[in-house]
Amino acid sequence: MNAQKTRSYFIVDDDPLINALVTALLEDAGHTVSSSTSSIEALERILVDKPDVVIVDIMLPVMDGFQLCKKLKTNPDLPGVQVVMLSAKAYEFDRAYANKMGADGYITKPVNADTLVGQLDAILAAGMTLTYWGVHGTLPVPGEGTLRYGGNTSCVTIEVPNKPLLIFDAGSGIKKLSDHIFASAQGRVTAKVFISHPHWDHINALPFFGPMYVPGNEFEVLGPRHGDTTMRELISAQMDGIYFPITMREFASRIYFRDLGEESIVIDGITIRTMLLNHPGNCLGYRIEVGGKSVCYITDNELFLPDHPTYNPGYVERLANFCRGADLLITDTTYTDAEYASKVTWGHSCVSQVADLAHRAEVKTLHLFHHDPDQNDDDIDAKLVAARAALAALGSSTACEAPGEGLQVTF
């Protein structure tokens, strides 16, 4: 382990077996560890030892974990101490209350020996981790031509320690996310699912998202309504018995719906702004801001060429301002410029205009996204070369990548 990541831990759990297990896992990872089965004794020792991190059970005698957490986080002699709750209580109330008491993270028991240290590292990093589960558009394209970038359709997640999982779109990539959640035995799942718009490649894999069928999980599905048709009705309609054999009544988790317009919402300290995009029907772009970092998720969106009769410089400028200074811009780059000539008004953008947007908005990094189903890995490589050349011609400092399925970016 990198010495810079080595920390001093103090574990407080009235079960000595838990203390022993967690101590062994952390010491194997290169950390120093102390522990106690008494919250009263632990408080006295922590004030002397001043560890970097305290791991606290909730159900402790005399002084419970919530009380201990608050005392630690409000004590002026312990500046910067981080507190992570480790509890068998998987209720949303307890997670929220731990957050209110100042906890930096919450992990549910039983302890997973394979993932605990990684979970702690992610929580204590206090950043956000973005993962791609599908990067193509329109329909999945499995096969030899998509082995490097993957052939699944739109799905991106953002994880922030001690916050609900943020999921953007439910294309076929959400099935890979589903498999990952089950394989990693994450326990109770709480997530917000943001739908850009209800075209099939952005919603039709939601019924295959397994965690929605698990009791105790909790999801909120958010996105743009279409006239009098709500987000609940849009999702429910595609699961009507005529089109799909399982209806929303089979979801065993708690599921809520929220209709969004152009607005700004705050979820557990994460600010999410929305903007209506240039695409058939109502389509929302999202800007996610947390901890001084920002990501813009802009798909699907058409940026007309400047010589087109419907080119709207005001819209381009407004979109550039929406994305201004973002650490990462993920945006619809469906076509090459040559392909776009026959696809005008189809609702998607070409390389040159995407590069222009990223440069105007002064974003740090541009990620090409939502690839045409007729494009294979080599075609995406060519779009990346063209995008980088276009940025260079503009004298832009924006970096450019073409992410593939499984890529993780941490801020």
**CATH number of the domain residue 201 falls in:** 3.60.15.10
Task: Give the count of alpha carbons within 13 A of 175, CB side only.
Answer: 12
Residue 144 neighbours by CB under 8 Å, 6+ apart = none
Q: What is the CA radius of gyration of the chain?
A: 23
First to last CA, the chain: 20
Identify whether residues 302 and 336 lie together within a single domain: yes
Identify whether residues 157 and 265 lie together within a single domain: yes
- Indicate the residue among 106, 125, 144 that finishes a domain: 125
- Indicate the residue among 107, 125, 143 that finishes a domain: 125
The backbone torsions φ and ψ at residue 273, rounded to the nearest 5 degrees and listed phi first, read -105, 150
Identify whether residues 342 and 385 lie together within a single domain: yes
Order of strands across the sheet that contains 328-332: 264-267, 270-276, 284-290, 293-298, 328-332, 365-369, 399-401
Count of structural domains, the chain: 2
Identify whether residues 246 and 106 lie together within a single domain: no
Per-residue model confidence as pLDDT tens for the chain (411 residues)? 333 478 999 999 999 999 999 999 999 999 999 999 999 999 999 999 999 999 999 999 999 999 999 999 999 999 889 999 999 998 878 888 898 898 888 999 999 999 999 889 878 876 789 999 999 999 999 999 999 999 999 999 999 877 889 999 999 999 999 999 999 877 789 999 999 999 999 999 999 999 999 999 999 999 999 888 999 999 998 888 788 888 888 899 999 999 999 999 988 778 999 999 999 999 999 999 987 889 999 999 999 999 999 999 999 999 999 999 999 999 999 999 999 999 999 999 999 999 999 999 999 999 999 999 999 999 999 999 999 999 999 999 999 999 999 999 988
Identify whether residues 104 and 232 lie together within a single domain: no
Environment class of residue 99 by beta-carbon count within 10 Å: exposed (0-12), middle (13-18) or buried (19+)?
Answer: middle
Domain of 109, CATH number, reads 3.40.50.2300
Question: Which two structure tokens, joined as six digits, stand for 395?
Answer: 């004298």
Identify whether residues 170 and 66 lie together within a single domain: no
d(CA 83, CA 40): 16
Helix, strand, coil percentages, rounded to 5, for the chain: 30, 25, 40
Alpha-carbon distances of 42 from 14, 84, 310, rounded to whole Å: 11, 15, 68
- Indicate the residue among 60, 91, 125 that finishes a domain: 125
Identify whether residues 112 and 136 lie together within a single domain: no
Closest CA to 364 of 402, 404, 403, 401: 401
Identify whether residues 392 and 313 lie together within a single domain: yes
Identify whether residues 136 and 89 lie together within a single domain: no
∠ CA 218-243-202, rounded to 5°: 55
Identify whether residues 100 and 85 lie together within a single domain: yes
Name the β-bridge partners of 256.
220
Identify whether residues 400 and 382 lie together within a single domain: yes
Q: What is the pLDDT of residue 244?
A: 84
Task: Name the helix (H) or strand (E) containing 11.
Answer: strand 8-12
Identify whether residues 89 and 155 lie together within a single domain: no
Q: What b/e readout covers 232-261, taking b as 16+ CB neighbours within 10 angstroms?
A: bebbeeebeeeeeeeebeebebebebebbe
**Taking the C-alpha atoms of 312, 318, 324 and 327 in order, what is their torsion angle to the nearest 10 degrees?**
-80
Q: What is the pLDDT of residue 10?
A: 98
Alpha-carbon distances of 94 from 14, 89, 105, 162, 342, rounded to whole Å: 18, 7, 12, 12, 55
Residue length, the chain? 411
* Domain region containing 285: 129-410
Q: What is the pLDDT of residue 126?
A: 62
Q: Characterise 239 by phi-psi region: left (phi > 0), alpha (psi -120 to 50), beta (else).
A: alpha
